[in-house]
Amino acid sequence: MDIQYLLWLQEFREGPGAFLTDFMLKVSTISEMIVSLAIIAVIYWCIDKKIGTYLLVGWNGNRLMNGLLKVAACIYRPWIRDARIIPDPTALAAATGYSFPSGHSMNGATLFGGIAVYRDTKKPLKIVMFLLMLLVPFSRNFLTVHTPQDVIVGTVVGLLVMFGAMKLMDLLEKKPQADLWIALAFVAAAIAIAIFATIKPYPVDYDADGKILVDGAKMANDTFKAVGWCIGFFGGWLIERRFVKFTTDVSTSTKVVRFVAGGTGFYFLHEAICPLIKNGIGGHPGIVLSSLLQMFYVVLLAPLLFRLIEGKSAVDKAAAE
């Protein structure tokens, strides 16, 4: 049934629905790991630190959960299961790892669903965010890179994690010193998932020519990215929360400077430094370390630079406005 549904969508995409392909690719791109992280980073740096922190907690929780479920289930992509499935070639670049559950759907549930379920979000924005959240999983089906069950489970689990992130933020409001135990719990979970992904056996199937269909170690790359991001976030978050304490209560001009400077640094790190680390160290350790540094930059290094450069003047200027 799931393959038949994808075949119907594929026929529609290759026929009368071809005009929708570019739009669905754009929707899908917004929910890619690095794009959604960059958007949340801007919210954290420039718009609202509290909401940004909540989204980052949820994003890292969802990446860990996605990484765990993917290597636990080891479900092949639709075109591996059935040769009649021909995914959109542009979408294939971001279709990494095993198929279940959909990482894009979980990212969409984090970014769009997280804002939608946030208690302080205005109703019109809630509606828009919910619609975007639903568009993301449909786009993955439309491009035939995921089955319906992949995206449904991804969206539901993603939303549940966001509700959990809200509860954690509420707990921190009441018990600020719980931050250490929360950070330690997430880091311990990340290490446990890394160990599980390393030692578990992966399915080995071959095609008609005797070539292996799917390399399990390669499929686990996304899981190790999640491990690095999670350790980097909770380590950096704990330090920032206790010692740096930057604020988004700054002037508009300062926020613009943060957007440009922080975004430029993020782009350079992603495009130049992280590839050097991954290629230099190699394997899963290189993936973990590069991802850790990336998240450490978002949550701690960039805010520390903002704080050192701006000093008190940015806050004072915001108060004057």
- Is 104 among the residues known to form the active site? yes
pLDDT at site 313: 55
* Cβ count near 4 (within 10 Å): 10
Q: Which of 49, 77, 146, 284 is an active site residue?
A: 146
Owner of token pair 């479900």: 75
Calculate the CA dihedral of residues 182, 183, 185, 188 and round it to 10 degrees: 180
pLDDT at site 312: 59
pLDDT of 217: 84
Return the SS3 of 265: helix
**Domain-wise residue ranges, the chain:** 2-320
Among 13, 63, 70, 104, the one annotated catalytic: 104
How does pLDDT run along the chain (321 residues), one tens digit per residue?
A: 889 999 999 999 999 889 999 999 999 999 999 999 999 999 999 999 999 999 999 999 999 999 999 999 999 999 999 989 999 999 988 888 899 999 999 999 999 999 999 988 999 999 999 999 999 999 999 999 999 999 999 999 999 999 999 999 999 999 999 999 999 999 999 999 999 999 999 998 887 778 888 888 889 999 999 999 999 999 999 999 999 999 999 999 999 999 999 999 999 999 999 999 999 999 999 999 999 999 999 999 999 999 988 875 554 454 444
Question: Which pTM was predicted?
Answer: 0.94
Kindly give the interhelix angle for 148-174 and 2-14, rounded to the nearest 10 degrees: 100
Using alpha carbons, select from 270, 276, 177 the residue that is nearest to residue 229: 270
> What's residue 114's pLDDT?
97
Measured distance CA(315)–CA(247) in Å, rounded:
8
The answer to whether the CB of 62 falls within 8 A of the CB of 111 is no
146 has catalytic annotation: yes
Burial 156-182 (b: 16+ CB within 10 A, else e): ebbbebbeebbebbeebeeeeeebeeb
Contact between residue 273 and residue 293 where contact means Cβ atoms under 8 Å apart: yes
